[in-house]
Structure 1
Amino acid sequence: MSKHFRLGVLINPYAGIGGALALKGSDGKEIREQALSAGAEKLAGAKMARALKLVEPLAEHVQVVTAAGEMGEDICQQAGLHTTVVFTPENPQTEAEDTEAAVNAMLASGIDLLLFAGGDGTARNVCGIAQQRVPVLGVPAGCKIHSGVYAVTPVAAGEVVAMMVRGELVSETDAEVRDIDEDAFRNGKVLAKHFGEMRVPDALTYVQAVKMGGKESDELVLEDIAAEVSEMMDDEPETYFVMGSGSTVAYIMERLGLNNTLLGVDIVKGGALVASDVTASQLLSLTEGKPVKLVITVIGGQGHIFGRGNQQLSPAFLRKISKENMLICATKTKLQSLEGRPLRLDTGDGELDSSLAGYFSVITGYRDKVLYPAE
């Protein structure tokens, strides 16, 4: 069970407000004013409440970060969730810029997941700020739901969040954000456009080529993990890939045709070995001012990713690279063997451990990732 799950909650209070009145959407101040004057109800908050009902029993493990009033605070407090407000809109009728500012504030405060209620217009606003920085999940509340970032129902969204809080394995996928031109839609034309992709949690499945007899084949899974990392290296020839210790990383190096230091740290760039078995000080020096990605695996029976067999990865080095550039590689079988226990951070720097705590995207195969907590 995660002890410090930081859940960002964002509601577009006006999402879907034009649907019942056949206004074909809710984008634009004039449309919202027209809907309100005609007696339209705001329903997005109630839909978020249905999602959060599944999180209520786990309230002691959740810290909600949200926006004031109808944008999240009211519903979260009604759900009995410990709530911190990081953004307050200037005007009662919120606009797209309020959604964007709220997302910015939540990201700055540090969240593990952004749960938002809205439609495709809201998804566009969220995508423009969040991009690939943090996993997101939409609670469907709009007139238009063409984007793949939404759960099928508010309850389904709540179930996925509850799984994450409990520390269960939750897959991660890239989902498309699409929106239609509302003016064209009102004239009978459906013109849906692609606006980007965001990281979305999904229920864990084993629908992949590495499934054999209902279980993972470790060798085939490691082959897929190696293929994923190798493709990243091909795509980023100027990046220095720091290869941490452990058998999974050793397998990746073997498939790359490179010598590996099983209990040490090596550096790879452009498919070539730059340095072997480096010390902490050498690692700092060789990567100074360079684009860097760190490839590590889960070490030891307690799930350590730092502090066991890779002390060369000093706090000074880890502070130089962002969390998104820490590539944890592990089979789902290994993660499941932890029985819900989080990955362990033991860098020797308590402040750094706290800043890294939360969910990591773990590479579990080729184009296959899961979200897993660390603390």
Structure 2
Amino acid sequence: MEVDGDPRLSLLAPYDAEALQREFADRSPRAAYRSLSTQHRCKANPHVLAMLPSLPDGWAQVVRLDLARTYVGRNALPPLLQLCRRLSSLRTLGVADNYLENESIWDLAGMAMHHPSLRAIDLSRNAGISWSGGMTLAQAVCTNVQLTSIWLYQTSIPDDLAEGIFRQTRRNSTMTFVAKGGVRRPGDHARLIKLRAMHRFFRSIQAEDLCISREAVVDGFREKLHIEGKDLTACDDISNFRTALTKWEPPERVSWEAFIVLVMLEGVKYSSTLVSALRNAFLAFDVSISKTVNDTDMNGYVEVSSFADIYVWLYEQMPKEEDLTYLQSLLGLTSGQTVDWSEFLYIWYHRQLRTGERSIGSTLTPLPQTTLLWHY
């Protein structure tokens, strides 16, 4: 729906990032930002200036701008967003904790809606963003399928709308994954091979209910020692494991998930609540097309590149680089690979998830068909 005479509509029009960039062909991104700030009658932010290359050939170097540790604010945001329209290689924009309000989101969404490379936007800790700002973001993620991460925790966007935006970014991720071939890319680390071998062992002894007895868990631990070549010390190790198992209070019938925790993550107590929360996360980030989801089988997979999004979804805070490095190192993974449900549980149970409303109570409500009416 068109609103006649509203000057903000020009912000929503498609644009050519490279053509806009050529306006500053002989100038650096830093100089361009200074010029755009002057045009908008505001002072260039010194922290932003420090992030930008000072040479004319530095445009392609800017793939990430994270302003969470500096204050830009709504008055100085327009020239920065005009610069972003010209940064054709930009993939991540972070403007968390910048006191942004709905009016600023109109401008930001207009930039993001047609950007050629932007993938992720961090708007968290901006309490001034509410329902109308959320609606503009919903339009952006529906228009630009390359937008796969919009972080909105600690904003005032209603939960159902924020959930709808999240679900659309997941659809975008799946479409992007399929466009790249949609092929499962498993790892081949030694721990991965051991996990798969243990899964085969478990399936060979499971009953019709797809579980094993509590006593059979000890047999599983013995098999793990055999795979690791520790047969010579098995007697003492098994005795210690049997004693510890009593303290961990395993269920009478042990599922594959419980087996992973009790045997593969030796020394960790099993929590069905924790597993349920991680199952919700896995289903939310599953990018497979032909998936099976029921009480006994989940054959989908999750991209390792989405681990940062998963961390935010579970904890409502951005991960540190060392957090992501640690999670990937548990099974020797790289960002281009995928993990199945067993591998996902093995990795994220290590993190000792703090269960909460977002991880357990999420309804995963699909985003309804968004109209072209912008709500202000």
| Interval of TM-score (by shorter of Structure 1 and Structure 2) | under 0.3
Structure 1 length normalisation: TM-score? Answer: 0.26
Instruction: Answer 1 or 2: which has greater strand percent.
Output: 1
Instruction: Answer 1 or 2: which has greater helix percent.
Output: 2
Structure 2 length normalisation: TM-score? Answer: 0.26
Question: Which structure has the greater CA radius of gyration?
Answer: 2
